[in-house]
Amino acid sequence: MMMRSTLSLVAAAAWLAGGATAGAAADRDGIQWRDWNEAAFTQAREANRPIYLYLEAVWCHWCHVMDQQTFAREAVVERLNNEFIPVRADHDAVPSLADRYRAWGWPAQIWIAPDGRELVKRAGYIPADEFNAVLDRVLSAGGPGQPVAAAEASGPPAASGLDGSSLPVGLRARLMDKHLRAHDDRNGGLDLAQRFLDPDSVELDLQLAREGDDQAADRARQTLDAAMALIDPVWGGAYQYSTHGVWTRPHYEKIMRTQAAFLRIYSQAYAQFGEPRYRQTGRAVVRYLDEFLRSDEGAFFASQDADLNPGTKAHDFFALDDAGRRARGMPRIDRQRYAQHNGMAIEGLALWYAATGESRALTLARDAASWVQANLRQGEGYVHQAGDRTLHLADNLAMARAWLALYAATAEREMLARAVSTGAFILQHFRQPSGGYSGAADTVGPMAPSIDTDDNISAARFFNLLARYSGQSRFERGAAVAMRHLVRPAVALDRIDESGIILAADELHRPPVHATVVGDSKAPVAQALFDVLLRQPGWYRRLEWWDRSEGPLMHDDVAYPNLPQPAGYYCEARRCSAPQFEPAALKRLLETRTSPDTES
């Protein structure tokens, strides 16, 4: 954490002794850049202008954006040349600067008065219009005796466009109000007679909690703790729901959608809160999938019945221990192996592995993915089960998300290639001209295929993240197709809570956290660095491992330096960290990052 300090001219001279950059080129982008040295302060005093220090890194994505967007604007160039002393420094060339402003990420942007007072510090990329506004505030604070100015927090860019897919401000407010009203403050979960784990509502609260909302954290914990009552204490796995407005009167069926929802949410909860009980909950689901729903070939069966004897409630049966249950028989397991159900299981298991490092989950995910690829692949897409001809969105979307989750967990490029090809298949077969994705590729009789809200939320989030991984704009447009359907009030306001629409809309208008390891894929330290990145909370992130021997990444948008040892990089909120070479140091950086957009 950087301490507020005052830099006197004497201290500045001592600090700068020998501290020149590698030579910031004059007139780069039309800006008359100076080097970081005493001469810059001399010029600042003589001209009575503040110094603008731009501290960059050659591998920093947001530094490139500053060059391409902000510094390319003529008005910015003129103001920096005429009203400031612009100084550009590479953090690798001036370690003292890197150490001093490390907490401000890359790029770090510091305005300093001629007498050495730090006027304003900003973290990360600043768009041109906002940059000009900061310049105004700096000039107002630059006079002798003026208080140090604090710039505004640089939140995500305002939602603006995506081909008519933006979530109107008023609609977002109504959706957030519904989200808050839907929560049962007494029992947790949605305030309905049936109690079940609604993953989108909990995920939204987890997201809000990471942004500092303590009430959202309380809501998430309350629901997570209450929903654990749906876990079978003997065999593991999660029951689908409970009745009578409480969590303790379960219906005992165990469907794949519920298992996947528990894995997805409890993996995020464990990564975020570190609570052992959340890890135990996820483990119970993994164990159930492994022991009860896994076929000999590695694919997953669809579900297990609630009843031992069809039509007869099984309260007494499920109150027994393992031996007692097995002595009476086994509730029927549906041994159909569907692409959709396997895709949901694969994604959930990959997310669980990412959060915990438990390798059995990844093995299970890989085995199921191999079976689906070998048995249910049709062209570039997937059929529901062997022998089918009809194409369904749910199967292809579940498998597309599964491949992307496996890529994030393993950095194996084949996984991303499969996510891309399946995503392209969805665009080709299910996209509707008026917006949204239909549930089937073909019309059945006079019934037009329906457009499911949950599938379109899932599609919007998947396509947006795939666009970030692949760099392909067609997938960004694909996300907008889903959002055009979801932002219709009749769709968005139809149910008690549509937190997923808020999540999707917010993600479409901000970049994900981008974390990368650069280094040999066989190097243990590179694997250790990647493991640190995997353990970080949040679904919305772009995790990659670049082994240069494999060629450029699919989305080769960051020029990382060619260092002699593996390094980890972490970028968010328009700025990037310095390269981290030790897993422990990278872990400390991630645990202590405070996103210091303003001086405090």
382, two tokens: 């997937």
The answer to whether 190-293+303-336 and 514-592 have equal CATH topology is no
Query: Tens of pLDDT along 279-303?
Result: 999 999 999 999 999 999 999 999 9
Q: At what angle do helices 199-210 and 169-182 cross, to 10 degrees?
A: 110
98, two tokens: 């890197």
| Count of C-beta atoms within a 10 Å radius of residue 96 | 14
**140-145 long-range Cβ contacts below 8 angstroms, 24+ apart:** 142/50, 142/111, 142/113, 144/113, 144/115
141 touches 119 (CB < 8 A): yes
Query: Tens of pLDDT along 61-106?
Result: 678 789 889 999 999 999 999 999 999 998 666 766 766 776 677 7
Please identify which residue in the block is written with the tokens 């949410």: 265
Residue among 556, 421, 400 nearest 465 (CA): 400
Q: What contacts 444, CB < 8 A, 6 or more positions away?
A: 390
Query: What type of residue sits at position 529?
Result: L
The architecture (CATH level 2) of 190-293+303-336 comes to Alpha/alpha barrel (1.50)
Residue among 394, 395, 296 nearest 386 (CA): 395
485 touches 433 (CB < 8 A): no
SS3 state of residue 74: helix
DSSP designation for 380: T
| Count of C-beta atoms within a 10 Å radius of residue 557 | 12
Q: What contacts 552, CB < 8 A, 6 or more positions away?
A: none
Q: What contacts 295, CB < 8 A, 6 or more positions away?
A: 301, 335, 337, 371
Phi, psi of 294 (to 5 degrees): -95, 130
Tell me, what's the pLDDT at 75? 94
**514-592 CATH:** 3.40.30
| DSSP annotation string for 200-256 | HHHHHHHHHHHTT-HHHHHHHHHHHHHHGGGB-TTT--B-SEE-TTSSSSEE--EEH
The topology under which CATH files domain 9-141 is Glutaredoxin (3.40.30)
Phi, psi of 517 (to 5 degrees): -105, 130
Query: Tens of pLDDT along 381-431?
Result: 999 999 888 899 999 999 999 999 999 999 999 999 999 999 999 999 999
Rounded to the nearest 5 degrees, what angle is found at the Cα of 305, between the Cα atoms of 304 and 311? 175
488, two tokens: 């219709």
User: What pairs with residue 6 in β-bridges?
Assistant: 117
Q: At what angle do helices 453-470 and 499-508 cross, to 10 degrees?
A: 20
Cα–Cα distance measured from residue 13 to residue 38, given in angstroms and rounded to the nearest whole number? 6
Q: Where are the domains of the chain?
A: 9-141, 190-293+303-336, 514-592
- The helices-and-strands tally (H runs, E runs) of the chain is 23, 15
Cα–Cα distance measured from residue 407 to residue 462, given in angstroms and rounded to the nearest whole number? 13
Tell me, what's the pLDDT at 310? 84
Burial of 384 (0-12, 13-18, 19+ CB in 10 A): buried
Given 3-state DSSP classes, what are the helix, strand and coil percentages for the chain, each rounded to the nearest 5? 50, 15, 40
Residue among 316, 346, 348, 344 nearest 331 (CA): 316
Over its C-alpha atoms, the chain yields an Rg (Å, rounded) of 27
Q: State pTM to two decimals.
A: 0.82
Q: What's the 3-state SS for 470-503?
A: HCCHHHHHHHHHHHHHHCCHHHHCCCCCCHHHHH
| Count of C-beta atoms within a 10 Å radius of residue 397 | 28
User: For every one of its 600 residues, what pLDDT tens digit does the chain have, with 9 covering 90 and above?
Assistant: 222 222 232 233 232 333 333 344 445 679 999 998 889 999 999 999 999 999 987 656 678 789 889 999 999 999 999 999 999 998 666 766 766 776 677 789 999 999 889 899 998 889 999 999 999 999 987 544 343 333 333 333 333 333 445 788 899 999 999 999 999 999 999 999 999 999 999 999 999 999 999 999 999 999 999 999 999 999 999 999 999 999 999 999 999 999 999 999 999 999 999 999 999 999 999 999 999 999 999 999 999 999 998 888 899 999 999 999 999 999 999 999 999 999 999 999 999 999 999 999 999 999 999 999 999 999 999 999 998 888 999 999 999 999 999 999 999 999 999 999 999 999 999 999 999 999 988 765 565 678 999 999 999 999 999 999 999 999 999 999 999 999 999 999 999 999 999 999 999 988 999 999 999 999 999 999 999 999 999 989 999 999 999 999 999 988 888 899 999 998 876 677 889 999 999 999 888 764 433 332
Q: At what angle do helices 393-410 and 453-470 cross, to 10 degrees?
A: 40
